[in-house]
Structure 1
Amino acid sequence: MELNFELKTLLLKETFSIAYGNYDKREALLVELSHQNTKGYGECVAIDYYQIDLKNFTFRLKEIQSILEKQPVVHPKDFFHFLSGLNLHPFLMSALDCAYWDLFGKLENKSFIELNSLPSENLIESSITISVGNVEEQIRKIEKSKWNKFKVKCKGLDKHNVDRLLQLDRNLALDSNASFTEEDCRWLQENNEVQKFSYLEQPRPIDQYKILKKKGFANWMADEDCQDINSLEELIPYYKSVNIKLMKCGGLTPALEMIRKAKEQGYKIMIGCMTESTVGISAGCLLAGLTDFADLDGATLISNDYASGNFVENGRVILSEKLGLGIELK
């Protein structure tokens, strides 16, 4: 097996504004694993509020390259067990895990869906993200869009803006990226109208969630608070829903197990994404048949996508039905 990797720059179609800051581009690391003239692809991106340094990831890949390339082609779960012993950051592990699933499926002449007996029809629709901004501008974007589901970003709580959004007859969620105060959360979870939002994502800074009441009107969804399978047990009294992202938990292999456990514990589940190319989104799309919500708009937000595969069109998740993860570079 051979490892190759390359740093890429993803250019956004317009400035992406969230509570953490404003972004016109994202840096990405494309990982390629190849064997017998067959190539598999994975990706991770640099997110500043996760303190991701992709150059450090490339140094780490160089350190493990020789041992990784000596590995025989085994089942992806066995390969993930090997990766787990290398002390890798979950973002980097995700890129390698996804690249290996893509490679393995192509070598086995099977898709990821076939290999894991996953549902592939009647998939949940994805939301599209509406950046932080003037509420009237946000509403204009919603009304102009061909999508049916929307995740509206906000920085702090403006009750007037919430009221304006609730007046719309649209499927809306609210994502504060940890910018709500405790008082904001009390008001939201005690407000009957708030249950019109499909979910309210990551209201408080990490580990400051104990003000939340699961039995309130708000469908609180954990994002940064829910990093991996070990987070689930602690969050049960506070969150109704969790956002599972491949990069957070370490890839497709742990995501499958995390979804299983989250369902057992009664959570509603979203398969989410960062700002990613179709390399990353293709992997996430494959899990849409297992979840209650999807937020897989990452590739639709960029202007220089360098891959094809599974994708989202006006919210509809479309699977390519190709081998592996279905990824091809343009």
Structure 2
Amino acid sequence: MLKLTYKPYFLKMQYPFRIADNVRTGTPIMLVKISYQRYDGFGEAAMPPRYGEDMQTATAFLNKINFDLFEKPFPLAPILDYIDAIAPGNPAIKAAIDIALHDLWGKVTGKAVHELYGLTPNVLHTAKTISIERPEIMASRVAEAEDFRYLKIKLGTDHDLKIIEAIRGATDKPLYIDANQGWTDTEKAARFIDWLAKQNCIFIEQPLPKHDHKGMQWLKNRSALPIIGDEGIQRLADINNASLFYHGINVKLMKSTGIKEGFDMLVAAKEKGLRTMIGCMSETSCAIAAGAQLGSLAEFIDLDGNLGVTNDPYGAFPCRNGAIHVDNTPGIGLKNVDWNAIESFSTENN
């Protein structure tokens, strides 16, 4: 029999996290545990307010789950189909259940999740994200990312050029650019991308609003750099027409409803010739560890969401010299989890 336990949590950020359309100092998280026999599987839902999920919606969803319908945690497919059918939307809390079930599956079988999917563990060189601030502040944070090969720079302001000039005054490292839908003038965006291509920038993530299909199609065909879809790519069905608007996709477990559909999305994208990226929200080491299990399917890695927080309840998932080392620890790879100790960090005020 499967037993579900969950706890609300508030993940605090080291710095205010600014992107093109909002700023926040932390992220509501729902931590889940699914127990079977002597094994515990752990998962999480990271719920930035801009995506519409919160503690109330997550709790309501979890309270609808009836695990009495299932005797054991695998095969996963019928359980995940049941979870997905409980209610539309709710991708993050669905991901929490998916991650916990995968963790449980791996622990019961004694295999890492990447092994269960026939993948080879890689050393994943993740980018380090620098969110929007005054150009000089963003440049000063380059020093804090000394160990990382790649930097991800948030743009979408009226001083984007000055930001890149300031960053380039501090480092010549390759840059991933993320506008978070912050650009609206397609021709201006194309000219700016021409300039960015000369600044050792690797790609542009979601430059225009996700619903601007005409603009995205024009810009994709005009861009001097690859365009990666993020907000415009949520679940597997979005892969069908992705190549009309993007050169590649950014898969995040909190969008895809978890590991299973994230895997399917990455495989489908590669089959269609799309470039692949695996990313994250601001998350604990639990979701980062889960995402890392799929890292060998991605060309670009952006799994630093646990590194800019101050109260990761699981302790940092290993990231040494800017690299995540995925090993064969059963499940998603978390070690020495003390579920009971997490309770003292349940609200923002703590």
Q: Report the TM range for the smaller structure's normalisation.
A: over 0.9
Is 1:242 the counterpart of 2:244 in the alignment?
Answer: no
Aligned to 1:31: 32
Alignment deviations for residues 212-233 of structure 1 (CA, whole Å, 9 cap, x no partner): 2245212211110011121122
Q: State the distance in 1 between where 2:223 and 2:323 align.
A: 31
Residue in 2 aligned with 1:85? 85
Indicate the SS of the match to 1:237: helix
1:279 to 286, 291, 312: 286
Residue 187 (structure 2) pairs with residue 180 (structure 1): no
- Superposed, which structure 2 residues align to 1:63-78 within 5 Å? 63-64=64-65, 67-73=66-72, 74-78=74-78
Is structure 2 residue 126 aligned with structure 1 residue 113?
no
Once residues 7 and 165 of structure 2 are traced to their aligned partners in structure 1, the CA distance between those partners, rounded to angstroms, is 46
Structure 1 match to 2:135: 135
1:30–1:41 CA contact under 8 A, matched in 2:
yes
State the distance in 1 between where 2:334 and 2:163 align: 40
Number of the residue aligned with 2:347? none
Distance 2:316 2:129 in 1: 21
- In structure 2, the partner of 1:94 is 95
The match for 2:161 among 159, 162, 167 is 159
Q: TM-score, normalised by structure 1?
A: 0.92
Question: Is the Cα contact below 8 Å between 1:126 and 1:295 reproduced in 2?
Answer: yes
Q: Which runs of 5+ in 2 are unaligned?
A: 339-350
Normalized against structure 2, the TM-score is what? Answer: 0.87
Deviations 1:31-75 (A, max 9, x none): 1110112100110122111111221211221122xx223312222
Equivalent in the alignment of 1:170: 173
Shift of 1:285: 0.9
Asked if 1:224 is matched to 2:224, the reply is no
Give the whole-Å Cα distance in 2 for the aligned partners of 1:160 and 1:255.
Answer: 36
The match for 1:53 is 54
How many residue pairs match? The answer is 327
Q: Which deviates further from its counterpart, 315-324 or 76-85?
A: 76-85
Distance in 1 between residues matched to 2:115 and 2:210, nearest whole Å:
37
Following TM superposition, by how much is the alpha carbon of 1:278 offset from its aligned partner in structure 2, in angstroms? 0.6
Letter in 2 for 1:285: A
- Counterpart of 1:307 in structure 2 is 314
1:165 Cα deviation from its structure 2 partner: 4.2
Deviates more, 1:102-111 or 1:148-157: 148-157
Aligned-pair identity in percent equals: 26
Q: After superposition, give the CA deviation of every residue in 1:225-254 in whole Å (9 maximum; x if it has no partner).
A: 011121122221321121100110111001
2:5 corresponding residue in structure 1: 4
- 2:208 counterpart (204, 207, 210): 204
Partner of 2:272: 265
CA contact (8 A) 1:126 1:315 kept: yes
Pick which of 316-325 and 171-180 moved more. Answer: 316-325
Q: Which residue does 1:42 correspond to in 2?
A: 43
Determine the C-alpha separation between the residues in 2 that align with 1:114 and 1:309.
22
- Whether 1:103 and 2:107 are equivalent positions in the alignment is no
Structure 2 distance, partners of 1:317, 1:194, is 29
CA distance in structure 1 between the partners assigned to 2:247 and 2:279 by the alignment: 16
Gap change, CA 1:218 and 1:194, over 3 Å in 2? farther
Deviations 1:143-193 (Å, cap 9, x if unpaired)? 452222110112325334344545642111111111112243221344473
Distance in 2 separating the partners of 1:85 and 1:130? 37
1:192–1:314 distance in 2 versus 1, CA, 3 Å? closer
For 1:190 and 1:96, the matched residues in 2 are separated by 43
SS, match of residue 236 in structure 1: helix
Question: Following TM superposition, by how much is the alpha carbon of 1:30 offset from its aligned partner in structure 2, in angstroms?
Answer: 0.5
- Range that drifts further, 317-326 or 282-291: 317-326
Gapped runs of 5+ residues in structure 1? none
Separation (CA, whole Å) in 2 of partners of 1:214 and 1:253 = 31
Q: Is the 8 A contact 1:310 1:320 kept in 2?
A: no
Describe the shift of the 1:14–1:164 C-alpha distance in structure 2 as closer, same or farther (beyond 3 A).
closer
Relative to structure 1, the CA distance from residue 256 to residue 193 in structure 2 (aligned partners, 3 Å threshold; closer, same or farther) is closer
SS in 2 for 1:132: coil
Structure 1 stretch displaced more, 72-81 or 298-307? 72-81
